[in-house]
Amino acid sequence: MMKPATPSQVRVVTFKINDRDVSARSDETILQVARENGIRIPSLCYVEGLSVWGACRLCLIELNGDSRLLAACSTRVEEGMEVLTDTDRLRRYRRMIVELLFAERNHVCAVCVSNGRCELQNLAQECGVDHVRVPYRTAVYHVDASHDWFRLDHNRCVLCTRCVRACDEIEGAHTWDTMGRGINCQVITDLAKPWGESKSCTGCGKCVQMCPTGALVRHGTSVGEMEKDRGFLPYLSRMREAEWE
Amino acid sequence: MTDTQHITVATAWLDGCSGCHMSFLDIDERLFTLAQKVDIIYSPLVDAKELPESVDVGILEGSVSSEEDLKKAQEFRRHCKFLISLGDCAVCGNIPGMRNLFPLDAVLHRAYHENVQKNPQIPNVGVPRLLPTVQPVHGVVEVDLFVQGCPPPADVIWHVLSELIQGRTPDPMTLTRFGK
């Protein structure tokens, strides 16, 4: 998690997002300030209340006069910066990122329990993914239905690690982690044991509520029935911060 | 389009469930309005047996799973000025595409040997040969417009056709998405 700056270091900075003047605390990120000002930047792995991961790259932004693209979730604001959130170049990259997510695993929306309530599906629509231009990998992934209440479907996982972070940082159990590199990366429970055999899992279900897709769901849900509630997470996070202080 | 008032339309279903065509019929009384502006000259819904030489709009439902699907998709591309991929099977492979996780031999064996009680045999007379991999339509020919949905809602199909009739290019992404 990005450590909050000590109060003496915090200043107010003013800068521009899409030619609009905004002001913010110097310890805020571009994504936070954009949200406070109602400026939409698509994102997937960022969740308020969890540490910043910067993995999905959907919140990429451009800085005027800088050819590099920066992730808005992990870039602190600076005095005078000119942020662009919706250029042709960014739209092109965002669409490609979503297409690659669809091509990497087997997201068949029509038969998914999260159909109609899925962040990936919504992002595809928002980013104009009317079809996927690269060939699908169609690699075989397993479903772990060993847990009494929940199910893990690797076919629909986008490796945002929101489950990993929620379990570690909010529940404090650290049942989830990732294993393998690159295309072989997968989320695991305990030391890659079936979820149902996990000794550390408390069964709290925060990972399920956090998951943006149909990768982590409740048993007994049919197509389109898996509704998730994420509202509790920022609240729990704030309560914990208050405890630490 | 040659005539913005009266356009010719051809439709076909490849490896799909015909649900997209049913959704097309679900535009209900708007079919009468459509009939005044559109000639459906080739389709499972009409009698014509051969695809005419030139068609304004071709609409393909279903994925490309067999040699016949491939032939039909290529034929539609040759004959149609504007080709539409209708529904998730055509756009992304969808349910038929789920067999791509297994080798074709295993799929056929599962269907025609493991799950039959009498005379297990793989049909090879009068049926088209399956392709090793199921592909979306744009995997084999160029497509001009993608209409997602399983099936695309009737209102989306109506939007697409009525925009085309008026000589405009429709934008179905605002109305539909994968799995809708």
pLDDT of B2 above 70 = no
Closest Cβ opposite residue B148 in set A115, A130, A135: A130
Range from A189-198, A232-241, B31-40, B139-148 carrying the lowest mean pLDDT: A232-241
Q: What share of chain A in percent tops pLDDT 90?
A: 85
Give contacts of B143 with chain A, Cβ < 8 Å: 131
CA of A111: how far to CAs of A103, A156, A199, B84, B94, in Å? 17, 11, 32, 23, 9
* CATH 3.10.20.740, applies to A7-86: yes
Domain count, chain B: 1
d(CA A213, CA A228): 10
Residue A222 or residue A190, greater confidence = A190
Residue pair A64/A17 in contact (Cβ under 8 Å)? The answer is: no
**B25 close contact with A: CB closer than 8 A:** no
Residues A14 and B173: their CA atoms lie apart, in Å, by 37
Work out the pLDDT band at B1, boundaries 50, 70, 90.
Answer: very low
Domain ranges of chain A: 7-86, 91-229
* Average model confidence (pLDDT) across chain B: 94
Question: Does B79 reside within a domain?
Answer: yes
Q: Is residue B48 part of a domain?
A: yes
Alpha carbon of A6: minimum distance to chain B alpha carbons (Å): 45
pLDDT at residue B25 tops 80: yes
Per-residue pLDDT at A97 exceeds 50: yes
Q: Does B132 touch chain A (CB under 8 A)?
A: no
Which residues have a Cβ under 8 Å from the Cβ of A245 and sit 6 or more positions away?
none
Q: What is the mean pLDDT of chain A?
A: 93
Q: Which residue of B has its CA nearest to A134?
A: B139
Please indicate if any CB of chain A lies within 8 Å of the CB of B177: yes
For residues B16 and B63, the answer to whether their CB atoms sit within 8 Å is yes
3-class secondary structure, B53 = coil
Q: Which of B161, B143, B31, B54 is nearest to B90 (CA)?
A: B143
CA–CA min distance A179, chain B (Å):
22
Sheet of B145-147, strands arranged across: B38-42, B7-13, B55-61, B80-86, B145-147
Which three-class secondary structure state does DSSP give residue B88?
helix
Q: Is A185 helix (H, G, I), strand (E, B) or coil?
A: coil
The model's confidence at residue A61, banded by pLDDT at 50, 70 and 90, is very high
Q: Give buried/exposed letters for A189-199 (b at 16+ CB in 10 A, else e).
A: bbeeeebeebe
- Closest in B98, B173, B179 to A128, CB measured: B173
**What's the mean pLDDT in A185-212?**
97
With beta carbons under 8 A apart, name residues in chain B contacting A98.
none
Please check the confidence at residue A4 and state whether its pLDDT lies above 80. no
Backbone angles phi, psi at B172, to 5 degrees: -70, -15
Categorize the per-residue pLDDT at A229 as very low, low, confident or very high, splitting at 50, 70 and 90: confident
CB contact under 8 A, B85 and A102: no
ipTM above 0.90, yes or no: yes
CATH architecture, domain A91-229: 2-Layer Sandwich (3.30)
Contact B88 A110 (CB under 8 A): yes
Question: What confidence score (pLDDT) does residue A112 get?
Answer: 96
Over residues A38-60, the mean pLDDT reads 96
Residue of B nearest to A121 (CA): B178
CA–CA separation, A48 vs A233, rounded Å? 8
State the CATH number of the domain containing residue B36. Answer: 3.40.50.700
Flag the least confident range among A87-91, A223-227, B84-88.
Answer: A223-227
Chain A residues within an 8 Å CB radius of B180: 116
Q: Which residue has the higher pLDDT, A243 or A231?
A: A231
Residue at B71 is within a domain: yes
In a domain, B113, yes or no: no
Task: Over range A142-166, report the average pLDDT.
Answer: 97
Look at residue B178 and tell me whether its pLDDT is greater than 90: yes
- Report pLDDT for B146: 98
- Selected for mutation to probe chain A from B92, B107, B134, B171 (highest A CB count within 10 Å) is B92
Confidence of residue A230 (pLDDT cuts 50, 70, 90): confident
- A-facing residues of B in 140-169 (CB < 8 A) are 143, 146, 148, 150
Domain range enclosing B87: 7-98+132-174
DSSP secondary structure string for all residues of A120-186: HHHHHHHTT-SS--SPP------EE--SSSEEEEGGG-----HHHHIIIIII----EEEESSGGG-E
Question: Chain B partners of A214 at a C-beta cutoff of 8 Å?
Answer: none
**Average pLDDT value for residue range B28-52:** 94
